[in-house]
């Protein structure tokens, strides 16, 4: 068991902060996972306060889960991977955070996801969760596609699928398009009976809200729903395009990750599916690998 | 000139409160326009305070414009047409407003637009401005299509055209689609040089922001830009569908109104263009016609 007196031993914290939740992992120097924690949204695009609170909360939960509640956050070397910090303004804001850790190394959610998927080695990832994007890390060069946010970007993401479904249901209620399986299922899921109730329910909702509707699009598509099939085909086509652009960079490995992977992957082109490798570790492990790499640059690990 | 002692004469205020501005008109009993005023956003969906402030401010400006600054708001019979109040929760909120007028009659922006376009008679309107919708008033029966809001609805509206353009430009910068005329024009208009700057600029922006990008889509389409032509065709197809659904209700007249009319009308099907009549009066006049009708129900005009 770790104690505060284990001065020679290092403890690492890995954070994966996304639009809907923030995951934390505590690892030792042997890359063994000691504990995990999950809290609320960790994307600073939706608020600096919420993001930093979520990071701290998930870290404390991970320590508790590891049986290390007596360890202070100030003893942890933290790798913090966050959605949103691909925007320079948010990167600078988070970098300026008076964080509670021993050291903090900040990275985009994309980099830590890629590092996790390929156990710290070069590779590429397509991500479809609440948002969508492509990322490759090859010879210390980063290459990024998408990750533009909602509703102007993030095609093929959970939020995008959910929004497409809501749009089609509103058109169907108006009689502009024929109603399909999705119409009734979506209304029922949201407890709405007509377009007015639906509009009141979804008005002003963020990406995470729409993302919870993505599964019903795939359910309907699997039942042969024509409108759902069109949405799925359009979303899959975009992820195919992302994959082709990444493959053109010749990464040693390429993986698909994110909460929508299990639903979306079977709809990608067979050729692309065959080139995909299973991700080796989750993004929060990538955060630790990133922190170790960066910490070593400052003070080489003995 | 009107004075406070003209007890036998009635003064009417007509309000047209939309997502980007609030228009006011002061009319006398002979339906003569005495003055007009314009203030900020009047859609209570974006805030009750702002909407009610905009209404009051535009009313005071209209009185001043009429040379009637000495007249109190409490002497005006107000017809208030507002975007957003098709949602029951917002209608009730606005109805409960401790308004400064003698009487206030609240209606949707759609009803007052339709009454204005057809000088208080039965008819139908397709509206494409910041938002989009269709509305018909026939034999005291109302029929509505669209008006669902942004980004889940309002296809064929200024906001929708602007968002489609931003989406395509982001895809073009990523190399997923070929860049077109629009790519450079949109970046230049927003003062951006790359996708990161563009995303920072447009992140979280509301419908009114996107609506200002609509004209460049039509400019590009008129220059033969393929991507712009596809966007315009898709938007026009939706407005065509709205028109056909309204025409099926056999309105005596049908008009197209809203800020995008001049750009979008030429792209509608020829058959529909031929059936359109010019609107007779603007929506704020429709608000006065509505107020007079409603006031007469309570206390018949002598």
CA distance A114 to A121: 9
Is residue A73 less than 8 Å (CB to CB) from chain B? no
Quote the mean pLDDT of chain A.
93
Q: Is the peptide bond before A194 cis (omega within 30 degrees of 0)?
A: no
What is the band of B46 on the pLDDT scale with cuts at 50, 70, 90? confident
Scan for tokens 């939740």, then name that residue: A21
What is the band of A87 on the pLDDT scale with cuts at 50, 70, 90? confident
Mean pLDDT (whole number) for A219-239:
97
**Position B7 pLDDT exceeds 80:** no
- Closest CB from A45, A163, A195 relative to B151: A163
Number of helices (H) and strands (E), helices first, in chain B?
12, 9
- Residues A20-77: pLDDT tens digits? 899 999 999 999 999 999 999 999 988 999 999 999 999 999 999 999 999 999 999 9
Q: b/e for B236-262, b at 16 or more Cβ within 10 A?
A: bebbbbbbebbbeeebebbbbbbbbbe
Report the gap between the CA of B290 and the closest CA in chain A (Å): 23
Say if the Cβ atoms of B163 and A151 lie within 8 Å: yes
**Position B270 pLDDT exceeds 90:** yes
pTM: predicted TM-score of the whole model, two decimal places:
0.84
Count of Cβ atoms closer than 10 Å to residue A35 Cβ: 17
Q: b/e for A226-247, b at 16 or more Cβ within 10 A?
A: ebbbebbeebbbbbbbbbebbb
pLDDT at B1 (0 to 100): 53
Mean pLDDT (whole number) for A94-117:
96
- Closest CB from B153, B174, B202 relative to A152: B202
Is residue B199 less than 8 Å (CB to CB) from chain A? yes
pLDDT at B86 (0 to 100): 83
pLDDT at A297 (0 to 100): 87
B25 and B284 in contact (C-beta within 8 Å)? yes
Torsion of CA A237, A239, A245, A246, to 10 degrees: -150
- Domains observed in chain A: 11-119+281-298 (3.30.420.40), 158-275 (3.30.420.40)
pLDDT at A298 (0 to 100): 82
- Residues B210-264: pLDDT tens digits? 999 999 999 999 999 999 999 999 999 999 999 999 999 999 999 999 999 999 9
Burial tier of B172 (Cβ tally within 10 Å: 0-12, 13-18, 19+): buried
What is the band of B147 on the pLDDT scale with cuts at 50, 70, 90? confident
Is residue A152 less than 8 Å (CB to CB) from chain B? yes
Residue from B85, B152, B165, B210 to probe the interface with A (highest A Cβ count within 10 Å): B152
This model of the complex carries an ipTM of: 0.80
Mean pLDDT (whole number) for B80-105:
94
CA distance B114 to B144: 11
What proportion of chain A, given as a percentage, has pLDDT over 90?
A: 84
User: Of residues B268 and B88, which shows the higher confidence score?
Assistant: B268
- Tokens, residue B227: 């991507």
Say if the Cβ atoms of A200 and B89 lie within 8 Å: yes
pLDDT at B201 (0 to 100): 93
**Position B301 pLDDT exceeds 70:** no
For chain A, how are helix, strand and coil distributed in percent, rounded to 5?
A: 45, 20, 35
What is the band of A215 on the pLDDT scale with cuts at 50, 70, 90? very high
Phi and psi at residue A64, to the nearest 5° = -60, -45
B219 and B185 in contact (C-beta within 8 Å)? yes
């Amino acid at each position: 068991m770790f104690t505060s007196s284990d001065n020679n031993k290092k403890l690492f914290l890995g954070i994966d902060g996304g639009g809907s939740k923030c995951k934390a992992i505590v690892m030792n120097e042997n890359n063994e996972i000691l504990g995990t924690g999950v809290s609320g949204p960790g994307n600073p695009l939706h608020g600096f306060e919420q993001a930093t609170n979520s990071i701290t909360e998930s870290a404390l939960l991970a320590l508790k889960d590891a049986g290390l509640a007596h360890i202070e956050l100030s003893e942890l070397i933290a790798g913090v991977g966050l959605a949103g910090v691909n925007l320079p303004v948010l990167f600078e804001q988070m970098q300026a955070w008076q964080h509670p850790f021993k050291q903090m190394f900040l990275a985009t959610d994309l980099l830590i996801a890629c590092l996790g998927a390929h156990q710290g080695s070069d590779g590429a990832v397509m991500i479809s969760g609440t948002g969508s994007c492509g990322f490759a890390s090859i010879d210390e060069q980063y290459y990024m596609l998408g990750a533009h946010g909602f509703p102007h970007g993030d095609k093929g993401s959970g939020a995008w699928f959910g929004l497409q479904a809501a749009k089609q249901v509103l058109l169907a209620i108006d009689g502009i398009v024929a109603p399909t399986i999705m119409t009734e299922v979506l209304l029922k899921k949201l407890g709405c009976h007509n377009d007015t109730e639906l509009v009141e329910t979804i008005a002003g909702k963020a990406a995470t809200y729409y993302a919870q509707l993505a599964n019903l699009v795939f359910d309907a598509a699997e039942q042969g729903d024509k409108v759902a099939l069109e949405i799925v085909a359009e979303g899959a086509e975009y992820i195919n395009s992302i994959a082709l652009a990444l493959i053109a960079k010749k990464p040693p490995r390429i993986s698909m990750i994110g909460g929508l992977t299990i639903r979306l992957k079977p709809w990608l082109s067979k050729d692309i599916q065959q080139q995909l490798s299973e991700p080796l570790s989750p993004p929060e492990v990538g955060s630790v690998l990133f922190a170790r790499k960066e910490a070593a640059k400052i003070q080489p690990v003995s």
